[in-house]
Structure 1
């Protein structure tokens, strides 16, 4: 049933996307939902995300190679357990000799079962199949491929066969429903949410989730009254607005006020921590 719905969306939107047809279809769908029951903002966002899928490529959402946590096939089980404890992912790509030679993936469930029963010490026997997809592949096509193959990790490769990054089924689902946090991420963010660190040089490290209003109440205004920031609530959103994209770790940009933003932590789709300097603090 779900595959049928996805295929219908693909046929409606097609390769040659007609903006008028899309707008009409979105309006009709929205009106239909509103007649049956009031539609919520988050539901409208999901509908909008679905309509954007035919234009998205896997390279737009992949975790880049530089951020991939991959496992050497020669790891022993104890070394792998330590890595899992430190990084808390459920799947890890496995390579042999070179990080461009991915031979499969390891799932945490297999590792735990093996470790508890002390069956093997070499992790090669735990390696599962992984998908390979070109960086130009459509997001919907990869989602369907994962559903039919029951393999939930894909290694994204360039035209020469080199590894560009990876995509998991969670990444694909998040493109439709928004960010999904597991218990580990929620606990980590809750712990770090209110953390602020002010240095002797006057710079300050903050969570990207800190509200702009809260920052200005504590440290003074950044913006002039002429700037329209009505759609931006958080400091991470502000940094994204100034950069015009998801920045890379270590990138620095200066606001017109003279205040500098340096990105300390970032993942493939969002900013995590920011260092702010040259601000006239209260």
Structure 2
């Protein structure tokens, strides 16, 4: 498929075989020459990156997790279920680190129609757990084999890091999937030539696609929010400012202890934007 897109012959055993780096170079050249469109180029790039991505890079983190307490009163449960609007919700007992099942909302509807008592423990389905470090290409195959669409993500200590769905995986290939119920939040919104508003849950590589100078990547963080934690050294307040050349960062909004939006303002451009300013 990739070879065909750039007019190459698939001869894996002969002299025409190409390494992945060679293919990427050919694909970049095909984009520059107009042989493939930007959208096609992006899709092919996503395919190259797909096998290297881990669950922790695409999951919904626990700070944004909507979950149900198995022992909550029925009225509170129904209010939570219908206000969240998701088709599936993890169910916990005691704390979010003790996920005991997953509610499929379609299993709830017959009970509501018949006016029967709601017992989550009776109608919830088993939860499927995966480690943060699992490769998403392998998880996709497991989803297909097991006929499931959601997994609970565990950290190295057995706590819950978040959840990952088949939609999250597919978005790594085809881009963001929005339906009529989604409130679309742009990854990076350009305010002016020197100002950008950034959603802090955005992975660093994704943010860098829209910014004039790349943000530094690191082993200790995956997202813009993780970079902010390193930069500030604490949980910043709304309005707090920090500088990481060539940007000035200003916190725009928080939800509890999590920064949601940050504004980046370009200062005097660096002579070499490839320098890692965190290495100093």
Report the TM-score when normalising by structure 2.
0.63
Distance 1:52 1:208 in 2: 19
Instruction: Note if contact 1:264-1:275 (Cα within 8 Å) is conserved in structure 2.
Output: no
List aligned pairs for 1:93-242, cutoff 5 A. Answer: 93-186=90-183, 210-213=189-192, 223=194, 234-236=196-198
Q: Give 1:72 shift.
A: 1.0
Secondary structure at the aligned position of 2:96 is classed as: strand
Match of 2:21 in 1: 23
Of 134-143 and 75-84, more deviation after overlay is shown by 75-84
Q: Give 1:40 shift.
A: 2.8
Instruction: Note if contact 2:247-2:264 (Cα within 8 Å) is conserved in structure 1.
Output: no
Secondary structure at the aligned position of 1:235 is classed as: strand
Structure 1 pair 82–160 and aligned structure 2 pair: CA distance change class (3 A): same
Between the two structures, name the one with larger relative contact order (CA 8 Å, sep ≥ 6).
1
Q: Give 1:54 shift.
A: 1.6
| Structure 2 residue 224 is the aligned partner of structure 1 residue 246 | yes
Deviations 1:154-198 (A, max 9, x none): 111123322222111111111111111221224x76xxxxxxxxx
Q: Pick the aligned partner of 1:261 from 232, 250, 254.
A: 250
Match of 1:70 in 2: 67
Instruction: Note if contact 2:136-2:169 (Cα within 8 Å) is conserved in structure 1.
Output: yes
User: Which is helix-richer, 1 or 2?
Assistant: 1
Structure 1 pair 56–208 and aligned structure 2 pair: CA distance change class (3 A): closer
Q: Give 1:275 shift.
A: 6.6
Q: Pick the aligned partner of 1:83 from 80, 99, 103.
A: 80
RMSD, matched Cα: 3.9
Q: Give 1:210 shift.
A: 4.5
Deviations 1:77-132 (A, max 9, x none): 43222113332222211112232221111122223332223233222222112211
Distance 1:63 1:93 in 2: 12
Structure 1 pair 25–132 and aligned structure 2 pair: CA distance change class (3 A): same
Is there any run of 5+ residues in structure 1 with no aligned partner, and where? 1-11, 13-19, 190-206, 217-222, 224-232, 278-282
Structure 1 pair 144–241 and aligned structure 2 pair: CA distance change class (3 A): same
Is there any run of 5+ residues in structure 2 with no aligned partner, and where? 1-11, 13-17, 199-206, 218-222, 229-234, 266-280
Distance 2:44 2:30 in 1: 12
Distance 1:258 1:41 in 2: 28
Distance 1:257 1:54 in 2: 32
Deviations 1:9-57 (A, max 9, x none): xxx9xxxxxxx71123446778999xxx963322221111111122111
Instruction: Note if contact 2:242-2:248 (Cα within 8 Å) is conserved in structure 1.
Output: yes
